[in-house]
Structure 1
Amino acid sequence: MKTGTCRCGRRIFFNNHSCLACEAILGRCDECRSLTSFTSHGEHAECDVCHTSVHACENQNFHVCRSYVSDADKLCQWCQFTAVTPDTSIPQQVSQWATMESAKRRLLLELHRLSLPPYVDNLTESHPLSFLFLADTVDEQGNEKRIITGHDQGVITINLAEADSVHRERTRVELGEPQRTLIGHMRHEVGHYIDWAWAMQVDPEGYHALFGDPQAIDYSQAMDHHYQNGAPENWAENHVSAYATMHPWEDFAETANLYLDIMAIATTANDQDRAHFDLSPQADMPKLVNEILQIVVEASEYNCDLGLAPLLPEQLPPAVIEKLAYVHSLRRHDTAPA
């Protein structure tokens, strides 16, 4: 994640709220898109980069956002993507919502910097993206309504329970998932969105050659087969995860998830002056992956020192790198299909 600079010269990290050195208020300006400090003028503030008069995003009232916008009582560009929010009368749900929004902001910022959907051509209008953050409920008869995390035609629904680290770790162990994080969920589901809104629109032949034809395989049957029989023994030769073997849609989503993981690590490495990776759409993806994996190996050793899981797989087979290159190639398309 790229960092910003306070007016006092100190570095600002993405979730900083105030500068520890000069106590300036910090956030992101919707006008110039800078992570910076702001000068307060009572009911409004001034961005210390573009000097625009701005107001706190309306969701700052719930302490779930740190963005500033040009108009009072408005949502910032990131909060506008959330179509349904939790019950603000329940403190626990507000806390979980804040965790959700933090991960979502990181995701949207990365998609914007990589020029991936929804930040391609007119996809915000033709294939809009939105998020629903919902909690399980129980009706008057005691029947539980469980919220299933998933994607459906541009709508990403995430169960608020995923913001609970205890629930997430328990589920990770039950399902045998090496990594299960909130932003990982969002990257996976946005992978489905990129599939639906863009990949199958601009290069279906390349998609079919690598992932298969999703319309030729019944998803419900594929899901039942996967949970009854598990993944093939040789799944790691062609897939990034066992779950990716279930169906072409899941294969693409898991691959897109890993691609976004890799690009996020590369962006942070560049910002911290640990590397100078070429992250442009023209970058050589196999070369970039191999370079990033060197950092992954080092970081994974740090994690092991603390008893934590490896950062990412330390080695990827050629078939997976080819799939990553396909996701990377989607950034080269400049126009949406007619």
Structure 2
Amino acid sequence: MKTSKCRCGNRIYFNNSVCVGCQSVLGRCTSCGSLASFQGEAEQLSCDRCGSVAHRCLNQSYGVCNSFNSSAGSLCHWCEFTTVIPDLSAPEAQPRWAALETAKRQLLVQLQHLGMPPFVGNLQETHPLRFEFLEDRIDSDGKVHQAFTGHEDGVVVINMVEADSVQRESLRVRLGEPQRTLIGHLRHEIGHYIDWSFASRVALKDYHDLFGDPFAVDYEQAMQNHYANGAPADWATSFVSQYATMHPWEDFAETVNVYLDIMAIASTANDQGRANFDLSPQADVGGLVREVLKIVIEASEYNFDLGLQPLLPEKLPKAVLTKLNYVHALRSKELSPEIASSHAV
């Protein structure tokens, strides 16, 4: 992620709210989009980057946001994407919600920087993106109603248990996943949203050629087959993960996940001064992936030193690179007037 500088020269990181050097108020200004220091007293603050008046996002009172708005008494436009929050009466709810909001804000800032859905045209009007952070519940008969993490018609649901690191690691081991993180969940689910709201509307033929026709494969049957039999033995020659083999929708979402992983690493490398990657829509994806994987290999060795998981696979097959190029090319696509005016069914 990109960092910034406080007025005193100290570096500002993504979740900072107070400078450890000069005690200045820190956060993200929604007027200029920058991490910045703020000066003034109480509610009379101004952004050191753009000079705009800055009011705390309402969710700062819960400790789940560090953004500042131009108008008082409002949520920042990142927090507005969340339409259902957990019941905060439970002691574990607030820290879990904070972790989810951090990962969601990290995702949205990246998508906005890359110019990807929902920050394309009028998508937020025709195909709005929303987040619901839900918990399993027990009804009056003692029956458990599970909140399933997933996406449907623009709504991304994340089960709050995913914000519990112990529970998440237990699920990761039980399901045999190399990684299971909050940002990984969100990048995967946003892949489904991009599929539904944009990719399948602006580049359908190439989508079918690369990922297959999702409506030609019964999803429930494909899911049962995947969990019963696993992935094909040769999955690594054409797919980015075993889960991607289950269904075209999952193949696309997993590919988006890895694309966003790669772009995040490249952005951080640029920010840290160790690279000067072209991250524009015109960038050569093949060359970018090759160079980022060099960083991945190095960082994975550091992780190995500490007993942690590798960042990403050390090599991606040609078929996966072609799929990544498709996702990258979506950033150059535009909604035609006819498509842009169409609403979700």
TM-score bin (small chain):
over 0.9
Runs of 4 or more, structure 1, over 4 Å off, are none
* Contact 1:81–1:129 (CA under 8 A) maintained in structure 2: yes
By how many angstroms is 1:334 displaced?
Answer: 3.0
What is the distance in 2 between the residues matched to 1:11 and 1:78? 23
* Contact 1:156–1:189 (CA under 8 A) maintained in structure 2: yes
Match of 2:144 in 1: 144
* Contact 1:104–1:186 (CA under 8 A) maintained in structure 2: yes
Match of 1:235 in 2: 235
**What amino acid maps onto 2:69 in structure 1?**
V
1:174-193 matched pairs, under 5 angstroms:
174-193=174-193
* Contact 2:39–2:48 (CA under 8 A) maintained in structure 1: yes
Match of 1:84 in 2: 84
- SS at the partner of 2:275? coil
**What amino acid maps onto 1:52 in structure 2?**
S
What is the distance in 2 between the residues matched to 1:23 and 1:320? 47
Match of 2:343 in 1: none
- SS at the partner of 1:37? strand
Match of 1:207 in 2: 207
Unaligned runs of 5+ in 1: none
What is the distance in 2 between the residues matched to 1:175 and 1:95? 25
* Contact 2:29–2:35 (CA under 8 A) maintained in structure 1: yes
* Contact 1:270–1:276 (CA under 8 A) maintained in structure 2: yes
CA RMSD of aligned residues (A): 0.9
* Contact 1:244–1:250 (CA under 8 A) maintained in structure 2: yes
What is the distance in 2 between the residues matched to 1:43 and 1:302? 43
- SS at the partner of 2:151? strand
By how many angstroms is 1:234 displaced?
Answer: 0.3
Match of 2:46 in 1: 46
* Contact 1:149–1:159 (CA under 8 A) maintained in structure 2: yes
* Contact 1:130–1:155 (CA under 8 A) maintained in structure 2: yes
By how many angstroms is 1:90 displaced?
Answer: 2.1
Deviations 1:79-112 (A, max 9, x none): 0000101112223111100000000011000000
* Contact 1:34–1:49 (CA under 8 A) maintained in structure 2: yes
Match of 1:117 in 2: 117
Corresponding pairs, count: 338
1:274-293 matched pairs, under 5 angstroms:
274-293=274-293
- SS at the partner of 1:73? coil
Deviations 1:240-269 (A, max 9, x none): 000000000000000000000000000000
What is the distance in 2 between the residues matched to 1:206 and 1:125? 26
* Contact 1:44–1:56 (CA under 8 A) maintained in structure 2: no
- SS at the partner of 1:91? coil
- SS at the partner of 1:157? strand
- SS at the partner of 1:65? coil
* Contact 1:281–1:332 (CA under 8 A) maintained in structure 2: yes
Match of 1:8 in 2: 8
TM-score by length of 2: 0.96
- SS at the partner of 1:191? helix
* Contact 2:36–2:47 (CA under 8 A) maintained in structure 1: yes
Match of 1:104 in 2: 104
By how many angstroms is 1:47 displaced?
Answer: 1.1
Match of 2:335 in 1: 335
* Contact 2:202–2:334 (CA under 8 A) maintained in structure 1: no
Deviations 1:280-323 (A, max 9, x none): 10111111111110000000000000000111000110000100
* Contact 2:138–2:144 (CA under 8 A) maintained in structure 1: yes
In the alignment, does 2:74 pair up with 1:74?
yes
What is the distance in 1 between the residues matched to 2:186 and 2:97? 14
Deviations 1:218-251 (A, max 9, x none): 1011111111111100000000000000000000
What is the distance in 2 between the residues matched to 1:198 and 1:245? 22
1:161-310 matched pairs, under 5 angstroms:
161-310=161-310
* Contact 2:55–2:68 (CA under 8 A) maintained in structure 1: yes
Match of 1:64 in 2: 64
By how many angstroms is 1:187 displaced?
Answer: 0.2
* Contact 1:28–1:35 (CA under 8 A) maintained in structure 2: yes
What is the distance in 2 between the residues matched to 1:327 and 1:78? 23
* Contact 1:231–1:242 (CA under 8 A) maintained in structure 2: yes
Match of 2:20 in 1: 20
By how many angstroms is 1:140 displaced?
Answer: 2.3
- SS at the partner of 1:158? strand
- SS at the partner of 1:68? strand
TM-score by length of 1: 0.98
**What amino acid maps onto 1:275 in structure 2?**
A
In the alignment, does 2:25 pair up with 1:30?
no
What is the distance in 2 between the residues matched to 1:76 and 1:43? 15
Match of 1:153 in 2: 153
